[in-house]
Structure 1
Amino acid sequence: MTETQYALVRFQEAGDSKARAGLLVENRVLPLDGDINSLIEHWDTTEGQLDSLAATAGQDTGLAAADVEILAPVEPAQVLQTGANYRKHVIDLAAAHREPGEDEEDVRAKTAAIMDKRAGQGTPYFFIGLPTAIASATDDLTLPSYSKSHDWELELAAVIGRTAFRVTPEEALDYVFGYTMVNDITTREFVFRKDMPAIGSDWYRAKNAPGFLPTGPLLVPAKFFGDPQDVQVTLKLNGKPMQDESTQDMIFGVAKLVSEASQIMPLRPGDLVLTGSPAGNGAHWGRLLQDGDVMEGTITGLGTQLIRCKDEVQP
């Protein structure tokens, strides 16, 4: 018998401010007891219950998905973000920032060789994001008035299922509960501290404004997701494709990222590990986010984000 596939969501009913966890089966939301992190942490017992619930779901079961507000599907205590993890993206950046007189093809070839060596011998580049920046997959994105350099970066994110501390790459995926989608919004002019160049990057100012981590709509258990290294990441801006890349282009795959992240700090159930953004962000195109823009993000099997941008209104 074929197992009924489902995803986890968080939702609110109309007129109710309480967020609840739910099981999404086709277009129906089945309310669940307990918060999302408890369901993840106790998956050894909840999995069978949810499998059975999904198998008996019908068109009159639970609530119509169209009648509820779908929230961000996760409530992580920790958000780990990964920089420079797509080969083509890094090569494009190197070519765009080459020194005057440098041949573009030479720069691309040299950078490709460096990235191939890094994939075999190097380690991922992590930084920490704030969970307070998380928003839903349909919340409007307010573009802070202090800059005009806000950019998109659609990413696959792994959701940790049980405490992982110093796990190996070979066992790392056993600690992944499932996957969701995150658009890692970045204020480009704040990435590097111009007043203190020796310090380098300033990820706090660049990435943690309210709503700068649109997340979801779905949290898909790993057993339904398939190979995380073979899905397509696509972002359209006002209907035009800007990012469209396979996760095969990652320099470090999900297993390596989770393993390396766990070497320093224990990863807890519900934590997010973002896997980096493919080529095609606004800095590449010379076109950053503006008032009225609509971003449509999709990753194979993870639903659709639809984010409308609006300028911050000054009092």
Structure 2
Amino acid sequence: MATLVQPAGPFALGTFSAPGGSAFPGLVARERVLDLRQAMAWEPSDVRAVLERWEEALPVLHTLAHEDALEWQPLAGLRVHAPVEPRQIFQSGANYRQHVIDLEVAHRSPDDPRTVEEARAEIAAVMDRRAAEDLPYVFIGLPTTIAGPYDDVVLPAWAEQPDWELELAAVIGRPAYRVSVEEALEHVAGYTIANDLTDRATVFRRDMKAIGTDWLRCKNAPGFTPLGPWLVPAGSIADPGDLRVALKLNGDTMQDESTKDMLFGIARLVSYISRTARLLPGDLVLTGSPAGNGIHWGRLLRDGDVMEGSITGLGVQRTRCVAEGAGA
């Protein structure tokens, strides 16, 4: 069942189901949900179908959000699924200045002659040069990792160091191919919350270090990307570059950082990705994780842990970790 946290703006989109019923695209407004299959003329089967006609749909959604004489359902009685099923997931790595500094210090070689303070200062200088002169670092994730915002997260038996990474996710509304930084945000329909889980033990290949990172293994287990609860239209978010990203583990705050700490903002990420790939409606652009991951705290995820993630204006997701074979 849904957690009643009102998103920013007059409405948001989501995917819902009643007990025993099939999932449907819904409009969320004032703790109520409207089935868009019945309310919109073209009877969209899912949220991605709404995004396919986003420019046409947006003014209709604004009107529907204020129509009280429609068949609204109480949000509290519905199951909330991931708001959208993407065809493509683009993930930005090493995109928060403080996060990268923390990771680099944590992974220093035992014989590194620098003090922690010296290492942090050198890495910080590299990050500043990178933001000014270099390109984003983006890799690709699988849609099968997507899970609902309140679903249990199954920790695979092979994952020795499962970790959290709460992130702001941009949702594409207009196809984007070779768009400029100045044009990029015109292709973003809205924003949602993603927890991009990672098994730290398998990030780097142990058998062939020259290959480097193994994103398939460490990030793409089923359910490793809890998404949602809502897709909040971009027009309801005043500045995506100034949102608070916070994650609590069993009630204790682990991540609490502003998206101001991003090295590459959303416009630069979307533009960069579009130079190579064609972004499609419903696709996700994950913008990277701020400081405060488990590897920093020396506390990785285990059976029974509860993660609660929030981003300003986008609601709250709450997921429980279950060890593989332990049962949901």
* Kept after mapping to 2: 8 A contact 1:91/1:108: yes
Q: Measure, in 1, the Cα distance between the counterparts of 2:55 and 2:135.
A: 32
After TM superposition, give the deviation of residue 95 of structure 1 in Å.
2.2
After the TM superposition, list the runs of 4 or more consecutive aligned residues in structure 1 that deviate by more than 4 angstroms. none
RMSD: 1.5
Q: Measure, in 1, the Cα distance between the counterparts of 2:25 and 2:173.
A: 16
Of 23, 26, 34, the residue aligned with 1:22 is: 26
Q: Within 5 Å, give how 1:79-98 maps onto structure 2.
A: 79-98=89-108
Q: Spell out, residue by residue over 1:228-251, the C-alpha distance to the aligned partner (whole angstroms, 9 max, x if none).
A: 100000000000000000000000
% same residue: 56
Q: Measure, in 2, the Cα distance between the counterparts of 1:274 and 1:156.
A: 6
Does 1:121 pair with 2:148?
no
Residue in 1 that maps onto 2:243 = 231
* Kept after mapping to 2: 8 A contact 1:163/1:268: yes
After TM superposition, give the deviation of residue 57 of structure 1 in Å.
3.2
Q: Within 5 Å, give how 1:71-150 maps onto structure 2.
A: 71-99=81-109, 100=111, 101-150=113-162
Give 2:304's aligned amino acid: G
After TM superposition, give the deviation of residue 148 of structure 1 in Å.
2.7
After TM superposition, give the deviation of residue 203 of structure 1 in Å.
0.4
Q: Measure, in 2, the Cα distance between the counterparts of 1:105 and 1:134.
A: 38
Residue in 2 that maps onto 1:37 = 48
Of 12, 15, 22, the residue aligned with 1:10 is: 15
* Kept after mapping to 1: 8 A contact 2:9/2:236: no
Aligned residue pair count: 311
Residue in 2 that maps onto 1:282 = 294
- Consecutive unaligned residues in structure 2, runs of 5 or more: 1-7, 38-43
Q: Within 5 Å, give how 1:287-298 maps onto structure 2.
A: 287-298=299-310
TM-score, normalisation: structure 1: 0.96
Does 1:161 pair with 2:173?
yes
After TM superposition, give the deviation of residue 314 of structure 1 in Å.
7.3
TM-score, normalisation: structure 2: 0.92
SS in structure 2 of the partner of residue 55 of structure 1: coil
- Consecutive unaligned residues in structure 1, runs of 5 or more: none
* Kept after mapping to 2: 8 A contact 1:172/1:258: yes
* Kept after mapping to 2: 8 A contact 1:148/1:289: no
Q: Measure, in 2, the Cα distance between the counterparts of 1:103 and 1:77.
A: 45
Q: Measure, in 2, the Cα distance between the counterparts of 1:120 and 1:276.
A: 18
Does 1:62 pair with 2:72?
yes
* Kept after mapping to 1: 8 A contact 2:34/2:71: yes
* Kept after mapping to 2: 8 A contact 1:28/1:61: no
After TM superposition, give the deviation of residue 4 of structure 1 in Å.
6.5
After TM superposition, give the deviation of residue 96 of structure 1 in Å.
2.2
Q: Spell out, residue by residue over 1:169-200, the C-alpha distance to the aligned partner (whole angstroms, 9 max, x if none).
A: 11100110000100001111111110011111
Structure 1 residues 4 and 80: alpha-carbon distance in aligned structure 2, compared to 1, 3 A threshold: closer
